[in-house]
Structure 1
Amino acid sequence: MAEDEEFPEPEAGKRGQSRGERARQAAAAREEQRRAKAAAKLRENLMRRKSQARARRAGEADDSQGLPAAKTDESS
């Protein structure tokens, strides 16, 4: 048997890295995840707004999920 088959080398990503380098990589990964999540939320918001605009042009009811934009009754 070859010597390197008995004792596999550590993962290439962790070999030769200091704690600070690993921390920076972890922070960069978290930042990338945060940006991806924000981009997904922006796409979702854009799709919702486009469908609302289409509904208004078609004369259909606006299916908003938040608070109503205008009062439905005459109360103050």
Structure 2
Amino acid sequence: MASYVFNQPGAKEFLDRYAELLRLVAAGYRREGKRYVTIAVGCTGGKHRSVAMSEKLAARLAAEGVETVVVHRDMGRE
């Protein structure tokens, strides 16, 4: 499913820009001594696009040394 999501127009650009924004936000949080931030990624159903995007985003952040916890709110709500 993730390959389908990321083959859609604009998906990779969205991920790149969202990750860059989070880097900027994270830097500010660190300067202020904050310990965590909660972010949300949503889509219409909450089972495909948002899952793929949040997993990929978490992987990028983890690769940069940011501890991440991903919760898929709508998975299993069929």
TM-score (norm 1): 0.36
TM-score (norm 2): 0.35
Max radius of gyration: which structure?
A: 1
